[in-house]
Amino acid sequence: MKILNYGSLNVDHVYQMPAFVTAGETLSATDCATHTGGKGLNQSVALARAGAEVYHGGKIGADGETLRAFLEKAGVDCTFLRTDPGVPTGHAIIQVVPSGENCIMIYGGTNRMVSREEIDETLGHFSAGDYLLLQNEISNVDYLIEKGHEKGMITVLNPSPITAELLSYKNLGLLDWLIVNRGEAEALSGLAEDGDADGGKAKDPDAVLAALRTRYPRAGIVMTLGKHGAVCLRGGEKVTGRTYTYGKRVDTTGAGDTFTGYFLAGLARGLSLESCMELAGKAAGISITVAGAAVSIPDMETVLSSIPLE
């Protein structure tokens, strides 16, 4: 069974900041670095490092060859990664503060040039039962969901980042899996629309899950809850996962991508939901102890031999 991850590739320009820059403010970075990233690329790397057979669909510019090389070195098949020499590769400007939290600005570039013709051609190489993984940083995501579903592929969406356009997609109800963080879950559930009624407080996770289940009854749902772990609902089955701590939280960029890739790799191997959640939680926990996105994703051997502090 193959996994096609149709997603973004970015060059990440990462700035270590004493605090996030706010409107009208100028702050000096204490350090800066360039890393390989993009939610799509990160998730392909996580899938490959977790041992899955993964194909990356997407687009880079002439300046993006290092991203292709990174994917290939990680073991990702790049047959369906196209190049448009006339458009710059996507990039991200990322601020990281001492707590390890980040703030990300993305420029789509070639990620926004993925066409329906390319999608049709690529999906022609996959069959019913193969997985189709998507995020929300490329063009034509709703079309991908529709066409993947039509072919009988198992469609999985990590709806990140949430945008007004995503909330208007017609085909979200066709998804087989949704992998969301708490904010994404609230936005998709419709409960965020009542935000003012309770002063904009975070909603009860069980209420959010119940609302998501009502809106997307055919989808398995995984909701990550930061330091409170994660919860997964599939049919009548509900599994909770814990967080794993391995040391100082250096950089959370790519932790969600690591979780998604490891979870899906486990699912594709037929592992139990408990094992999928454990492996994904451990891999994400390790990733935040290292700076950078794709470069911080551990391989399966490291995950299996890891000993969490708590």
Q: Which of residues 65-104 bind ligand RIB (CB under 6 A)?
A: 92, 104
Kindly state the number of chain residues that form the binding site for ligand RIB, as judged by CB under 6 A: 16
Amino acid at 260: T
Q: Where are the beta strands (DSSP E) in the chain?
A: 3-6, 10-16, 31-37, 54-60, 81-83, 90-96, 102-107, 131-134, 154-157, 177-181, 220-224, 230-234, 237-241
Return the number of the residue (153 or 158) whose C-beta is nearest ligand RIB: 158
What DSSP state is assigned to residue 94?
E
Nearest-angstrom CA–CA distance, 66 and 72: 10
Interface residue with ligand RIB among 122, 253, 258, 287 (CB under 6 A) is 253
Sheet holding 10-16, edge to edge: 31-37, 10-16, 90-96, 102-107
In the complex, minimum distance from the CB of residue 184 to ligand RIB, in angstroms, rounded to a whole number: 12
Q: Please give the C-alpha separations between residue 269 and each of 52, 130, 252, in angstroms, as whole numbers.
A: 8, 12, 27
Contact pattern from residue 201 through residue 240 relative to ligand RIB, giving x for each residue in contact according to CB under 6 A and a dash for the rest: ----------------------------------------
Q: Which window, 121-129, 196-204, 219-227, 249-257, contacts ligand RIB (CB under 6 A)?
A: 249-257
Number of separate helices (H) and strands (E) present in the chain = 10, 13
Nearest residue to ligand RIB on Cβ basis: 37
Q: Is 110 in the site for ligand RIB (CB under 6 A)?
A: no
Q: Is 137 in the site for ligand RIB (CB under 6 A)?
A: yes
Nearest-angstrom CA–CA distance, 222 and 238: 10
Q: Which of residues 257-276 bind ligand RIB (CB under 6 A)?
A: 257
Contact pattern from residue 8 through residue 37 relative to ligand RIB, giving x for each residue in contact according to CB under 6 A and a dash for the rest: x-x-x------------------------x
Nearest-angstrom CA–CA distance, 187 and 180: 10
What tokens appear for 166 in the block? Answer: 């995503």
Contact pattern from residue 140 through residue 179 relative to ligand RIB, giving x for each residue in contact according to CB under 6 A and a dash for the rest: ----------------------------------------
Nearest-angstrom CA–CA distance, 241 and 230: 5
The Cβ of residue 236 has, within 10 Å, a number of other Cβ atoms equal to 5
Q: Is 38 in the site for ligand RIB (CB under 6 A)?
A: yes
| Residue ranges in contact with ligand RIB by CB under 6 A | 8, 10, 12, 37-39, 42, 92, 104, 106, 137, 253-254, 256-257, 293
